[in-house]
Amino acid sequence: MDTRELARESRIVPRSFYSRRTADVARDLLGKILVNGPASGMIVDTEAYLGGDDLAAHSARGVTDRTRVIFGPPGHAYVYFIYGMYECLNLVTEPKDKPGCVLIRAIEPLTGIDVMQKRRPAARRIEDLASGPGKLTRALSITRAQNGADMTSGNLVVRNWKHQRQFEIEVTPRIGITKCADWPLRYVVKGNRFVSWFVSG
């Protein structure tokens, strides 16, 4: 499987998909293929960050230079810099002027695995290549230069793969936050070995 073959067997997810309730988008992104150039993988782990009283969301304190794209039209990338070293990818949801985005936490590598391994020398197993929000941006070479990028055209897109197999979905609290820490807004492909944090039971 390479990216050319993947493109033949899949369609880019349209903007209307993103212009919905954030939690629904987060759930429905599972099983879709995140592509950046030659590398791609199946989304297996997501988190919803809502508007309103979700104080864990970057948009909670309103529009700033950083959070502007979260308030913009759906289907765009929100990429932010964290802990001085890593970048995280979010996909903007909800209609324009309504904040909301989905953090992509992990992918199961599909194409361009050799390229991803070069970019992630610390990963000793395929399971470690992109099993975290900072790992997958490194593996796919996604940076702040792509902040605001349109996810419905160009190198960075999400695709619907027709050979996608069925799976069960597990819902848990979000990882690594302190505010609204018990809200069940994380969506995981149940039993998948590539998720960012194993769920027992």
Partner DNA sequence: GGTAGGATGGGCT
Partner DNA sequence: GCCCATCCTACCC
Diameter over CA atoms, the chain: 43
Nearer to DNA, 1 or 181 (CB): 181
Question: In terms of CB distance, is 6 or 104 closer to DNA?
Answer: 104
Using CB under 7 A, which of 23, 43, 44, 88 touches DNA? 88
Q: Is 85 in the site for DNA (CB under 7 A)?
A: yes
Of 11-19, 35-43, 108-116, 126-134, which segment contacts DNA by CB under 7 A?
A: 126-134
Size of the site for DNA (CB under 7 A): 38
Cβ-based nearer residue to DNA, 7 or 56: 56
Secondary structure of the chain in HEC code, one letter for each residue:
CCHHHHHHCEEECCHHHHCCCHHHHHHHHCCCEEEECCEEEEEEEEEEECCCCCCCCHHHHCCCCCCHHHHCCCCEEEEEEECCCEEEEEEECCCCCCCCEEEEEEEEEEECHHHHHHHCCCCCCHHHCCCCHHHHHHHHCCCHHHCCCECCCCCEEEEEECCCCCCCEEEECCCCCCCCCCCCCEEEECCCCCCCCCCCC
Based on the shown chain and the rule CB under 7 A, indicate whether residue 119 belongs to the binding site for DNA.
no
5-44 residues in contact with DNA (CB under 7 A) are: none
Residue window 139-178: x/- pattern of binding to DNA, with contact defined by CB under 7 A:
-----------------------------------xxxxx
Shorter beta-carbon distance to DNA: residue 6 or 39: 39
Binding-site ranges for DNA (CB under 7 A): 47, 49, 56-59, 61, 64-67, 78, 81-86, 88, 90, 101, 103, 120, 122-123, 128, 132-136, 174-179, 196
